């Protein structure tokens, strides 16, 4: 006895089939990983900076308004937007981000405190935006619990910003609430 196992021709075939199956599975797994990496592009530092800067500017612009904003103020905001948000903004103004703002004479200021890329493609991206917003009521003087125009009601919020690349410029296409960020 030499201690070597002897396989029949049938056994050798099963070993060969097993090796072939393992090799094919390895090739398929590698192809899947490479395909997944290519399917979800990652922006380089310059692209990421441009996207996040445009998002900050657009969200700040659309969420900052006063009852006495001029048509020029609205045009400046519109320069940051694209469809479907642009036509909605042209029709409803600040009501697109704060329903009832126009009729109630409300004003709002917003400060973007954080942004992060959730999904990215060369033509569209989804960005999470953390905003400190202050809503100002008309004619409030601070008496009787009513906020005055300077302080207003401060609220931290989170929103999903859908950004679209329009002729090389990132524009805000949609802005949705994330949900209750206090929980």
Tokens found for residue 31: 């192809």
Q: What secondary structure does DSSP assign to 3-32, as a single string?
A: S-----HHHHHHHHHHHHHHHHHHHHHHHH
Asked if 152 contacts 137 with a C-beta cutoff of 8 angstroms, the reply is yes
Query: With the CA atoms of 111, 114, 118 and 121 taken in that order, what torsion angle do they form, in degrees rounded to the nearest 10?
Result: 70
According to the model, what pLDDT value does residue 43 have? 84
Q: Residue 39: what pLDDT?
A: 62
Strands in 124-136's sheet, in edge-to-edge order, are 107-120, 124-136, 153-166, 169-177
Query: By 3-state DSSP, what share of the chain in percent is helix, strand and coil, each rounded to 5?
Result: 40, 30, 30
**Domains of the chain by residue range:** 9-39, 45-139+151-177
The CATH superfamily label for domain 45-139+151-177 reads: VirB8 protein (3.10.450.230)
- Which residues of the chain fall short of a pLDDT of 70? 1-5, 37-40, 139-151, 180-183
């Amino acid at each position: 006895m030499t201690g070597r196992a002897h396989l029949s021709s049938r056994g050798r075939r099963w070993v060969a089939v097993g090796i072939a199956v393992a090799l094919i599975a390895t090739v398929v797994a590698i192809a899947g990983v490479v395909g997944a990496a290519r399917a979800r592009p990652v922006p380089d530092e310059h692209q990421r900076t441009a996207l996040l800067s445009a998002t900050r500017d657009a969200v700040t612009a659309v969420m900052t308004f006063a009852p006495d904003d001029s048509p020029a103020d609205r045009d400046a905001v519109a320069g940051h937007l694209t469809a479907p948000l642009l036509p909605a903004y042209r029709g409803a103004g600040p009501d697109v981000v704060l329903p009832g703002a126009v009729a109630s004479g409300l004003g709002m200021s917003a400060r973007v405190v954080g942004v992060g890329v959730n999904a990215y493609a060369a033509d569209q991206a989804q960005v999470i935006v953390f905003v400190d917003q202050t809503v100002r009521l008309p004619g409030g003087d601070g008496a009787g619990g009513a906020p005055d125009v300077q302080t207003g009601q401060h609220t931290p919020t989170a929103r999903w910003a859908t950004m679209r690349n329009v002729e090389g410029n990132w524009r805000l296409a949609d802005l949705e609430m994330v949900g209750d960020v206090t929980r």
